[in-house]
Each structure stands twice: as structure tokens, then as C-alpha cells.
């Protein structure tokens, strides 16, 4: 089958690789759509932290935001999965350690991460092997575009949950990229008053086109507003400290964005304001809730996808090139069948 393979820093190509076989408890999924995200770009450039620790080594087959149809199951796997449209969890724990036994497999020290960690092949390929325990069924109302947005949506949903939002809560989202906009859409669906802070004119204009009206820059932000929660979905090293300053006493800050270098936060600010800081790693635990939100129509992130390309165009996308004719959204999707 065809798969996109990163062979070294700034080099990737489409290769013919062996088709996956479903092992015990596993399924093979025919991939219909996959997303490209910042983690993929970091692996491509060589900047990904896992490359330094040895958790990721070249060659790498990326792709952890995906949907498709189950075409085969292995021994001991429920055959009712056959023919179902699915997405799935990126984080595959060992299943035996204390964290896995508590349902927190995304924190397992020995976990695989599909398309990212310890060599589990990713979804930028015609087929993908996945443990059946990681699968989430998609209803007919969740199409290919939405299906491949469930994984980033799960990260966003967990961020909204971590912020403790209730109807009427005022939340500031730092960074209107894919995750930040998903956070904003989900927070609004939960009845929150959403504010956005972005650096580029393009990102702010796109957010406004989605219907958000409370959008500012660092220079124009009204610092007299009390924010019950601040969610950092940026990659700006300054934002976690800013979040701690802007959140109201007793409020919450949620950290889902990652900068390329350490972000410094004065813990005196957290302590003296009695702030709760929440870190979010992965969509684990948020996938089914995201599917339900998308299926209900309460959240429709389709406009975030600006273009869909084939495997041959992935290297250019990872280099930061926008496909010809692409729309204004921040997300690029890949159809490996093209």
C-alpha cells in the first residue's frame, strides 16, 4: 500500500509499504481522511522533543487525526466492527500498569502514540492498524471531514472541561489556531462567553468569520475584564504567564499549547490568586463527547479545513506551503485515496 514516510529532517516521500495485518484484538482501518497538525510538522522539521529523547526515530509514518472504515479484524476481536466507520484514540497504553488500570492509558510510560511515538504507524496511508479498544464508532451524521477532526476536537473538549466552564462563564482563548478555535466553538456550545486573542490579522479575521466578535491582540486586550478561565492553545512562550495574570482570582488556567522552549510561570501568582492550573495531554477521554457534539450539530468545525490533498502533496504542506485554491482555515486534510 501507499504511505507517507518521513525519512529524516525535512525529507518525506510516498513509499510502497506492506499492508498491515490485524493482530489479536486489533482491527485494520481503510483510511478515508487524515489531518496534518503541528506535531507532524515538528517531526518533519526535526524539532519534535521525542526525537531528542529517542521516543521517536526516523523513519516515521505520521498521522494521528483520522477516520475510516474497518476492513479486517484479528483474532479475539469483535467481528461487529467490520464495515463500521470509526475514528480512534492516539494513545495506546500497555494495559497493565497502574495508570492503564485506572483508565489513564494516555499517561502510560510505555504507551505507543499512533503516528508519533515508539514506531506505531500513522494514518497518512491507505490503511491503519488499531487496537479495537481504541476505536470510536462514527454515526452517519459525522462525515469524513468531521471524523478527522474528532481527535483535535477531543483535546479541545478536555480543555473546556478542565476550565470548569458553566453557562455564563467568561473564557479567554489564547491562540486562534485549530485547537483554539475548536476550544472556542465548544466553549460557546456550553454557554460560555468566548473571547479570543490572536497575533496575526489572518487568524483574527478568520475567527471573526466564524461568528466570534470578542477578538483582540496583546495591545488591544481589555485587561479590566475578569476571565473565569484562560485557555492557552498557542505555542507562544509568553502565554502561560499571561494566562495566570489575566485569570480572575479563584479561576482556572488550562495549558494545551506547547512552546518550543520552557514557558515560565511565577507560582506566586498562582498561589496568591488561588488559581487552578490544568494541563491537557491528548484527546483520550474526550473522543466520544466530541463525536456527540459534532453529530448533534451543536459544533460544526468544517470551515476550519481549508483544503484536502493527496499523499504526494504532504511534504509541501509540512514545509508550510498552502495548497493552491485553499481556503482561509488553518487545517489541511489528506485523502490517501487521491
Whether residue 115 sits in one domain with residue 137 = yes
Q: How far from chain centre, in Å, is Cα 275?
A: 26
Helix (H) or strand (E) run with residue 31 in it: strand 26-36
Return the closest-CA partner of residue 183 out of 271, 245, 251, 253.
Answer: 253
CA distance 272 to 269: 5
In this structure, the number of other CB atoms found within 10 A of the CB of residue 12 comes to 26
CA separation, residue 199 to residues 112, 126, 174, 302 (Å):
34, 37, 9, 23
Residue 159 sits in the same domain as residue 144: no
Q: What percent of the chain has pLDDT over 70?
A: 100
Residues 119 and 44 grouped into a single domain: yes
Residue 316 lies in a domain: yes
Query: Does residue 179 share a domain with residue 119?
Result: no
Summarize pLDDT for 291-325 with one digit per residue, the tens.
999 999 999 999 999 999 999 999 999 999 999 99
Instruction: Kindly state whether residues 141 and 164 are assigned to the same domain.
Output: no
As a whole number of angstroms, the distance between CA 153 and CA 122 comes to 18
pLDDT for res 8: 98
CATH assignment at residue 167:
3.40.50.720
Q: What is the DSSP code string of 282-300? A: SSTTTHHHHHHHHHHTS--
Q: Are residues 66 and 98 in the same domain?
A: yes
Q: Strand, coil or helix: what is 336?
A: coil
Cβ(82)–Cβ(71) under 8 Å?
yes
CATH number at residue 62: 3.90.180.10
Q: Is it the case that residue 216 has pLDDT exceeding 90?
A: yes
Place of cell 505507543: 112
Do you find a cis peptide bond into 59, omega within 30 degrees of 0? yes
Cα-based angle 216, 172, 225 (whole degrees, multiple of 5): 75
Instruction: State yes or no: cis peptide before 45, omega within 30 of 0.
Output: no
The verdict on 20 and 137 lying in the same domain is yes
The pLDDT value recorded for residue 260 is: 87
Mean pLDDT, residues 242-268:
96
Res 218: pLDDT: 95
Backbone φ and ψ of 87, nearest 5°: -130, -170
User: Residue 295 domain-assigned?
Assistant: no
* Any domain includes 23: yes
Residues 144 and 171 in one domain: no
Q: Are residues 118 and 212 located together in one domain of the fold?
A: no
Do 58 and 194 fall within a single domain? no
Looking at the domain assignment, is residue 293 inside a domain? no
Cα 168 off chain centre by: 26
pLDDT (tens digit per residue) in 54-112: 999 999 999 999 999 999 999 999 999 999 999 999 999 999 999 999 999 999 999 99
Asked, for residue 167, whether it belongs to a domain, the answer is: yes
Which structural domain, as residue segments, surrounds residue 184? 155-279
Note whether residue 16 is domain-resident: yes
Count of domains forming the chain: 2
pLDDT band at 220 (very low <50, low <70, confident <90, very high): very high
One domain for residues 15 and 66? yes
Amino acid at each position: 500500500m501507499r504511505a507517507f514516510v518521513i525519512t529524516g529532517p525535512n525529507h518525506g516521500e510516498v513509499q510502497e509499504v506492506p499492508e498491515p495485518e490485524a493482530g489479536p484484538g486489533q482491527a485494520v482501518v481503510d483510511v478515508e481522511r487524515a489531518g496534518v497538525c503541528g506535531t507532524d510538522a515538528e517531526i518533519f522539521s526535526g524539532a519534535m522533543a521525542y526525537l531528542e529523547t529517542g521516543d521517536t526515530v526516523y523513519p516515521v509514518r505520521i498521522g494521528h487525526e483520522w477516520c475510516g472504515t474497518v476492513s479486517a479484524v484479528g483474532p479475539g476481536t469483535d467481528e461487529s466492527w467490520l464495515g463500521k466507520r470509526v475514528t480512534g484514540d492516539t494513545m495506546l497504553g500497555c494495559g497493565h500498569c497502574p495508570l492503564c488500570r485506572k483508565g489513564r492509558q494516555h499517561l502510560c510510560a510505555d504507551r505507543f502514540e499512533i503516528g508519533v511515538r515508539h514506531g506505531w504507524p500513522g494514518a497518512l496511508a491507505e490503511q491503519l492498524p488499531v487496537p479495537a479498544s481504541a476505536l470510536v464508532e462514527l454515526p452517519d451524521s459525522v462525515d469524513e471531514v468531521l471524523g478527522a477532526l474528532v481527535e483535535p476536537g477531543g483535546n479541545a473538549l478536555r480543555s473546556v472541561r478542565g476550565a470548569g466552564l458553566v453557562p455564563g462563564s467568561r473564557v479567554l482563548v489564547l491562540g486562534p489556531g485549530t485547537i483554539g478555535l475548536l476550544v472556542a466553538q465548544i466553549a460557546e456550545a456550553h454557554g460560555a462567553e468566548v473571547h479570543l486573542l490572536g497575533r496575526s490579522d489572518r487568524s483574527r479575521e478568520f475567527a471573526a468569520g466564524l461568528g466570534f466578535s470578542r477578538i483582540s491582540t496583546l495591545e488591544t486586550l481589555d485587561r479590566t475584564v475578569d476571565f473565569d478561565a484562560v485557555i492557552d492553545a498557542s505555542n507562544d512562550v509568553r502565554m502561560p504567564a499571561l494566562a495566570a495574570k489575566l485569570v480572575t482570582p479563584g479561576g482556572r488556567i488550562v495549558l494545551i499549547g506547547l512552546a518550543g522552549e520552557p514557558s515560565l510561570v511565577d507560582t506566586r501568582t498562582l498561589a496568591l490568586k488561588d488559581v487552578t492550573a490544568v494541563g491537557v495531554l491528548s484527546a483520550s477521554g474526550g473522543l466520544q463527547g466530541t463525536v456527540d457534539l459534532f453529530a448533534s450539530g451543536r459544533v460544526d468545525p468544517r470551515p476550519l479545513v481549508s483544503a484536502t490533498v493527496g499523499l504526494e502533496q504532504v511534504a509541501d504542506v509540512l514545509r508550510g506551503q498552502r495548497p493552491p485554491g485553499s481556503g482561509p482555515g488553518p487545517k489541511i486534510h489528506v485523502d490517501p485515496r487521491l
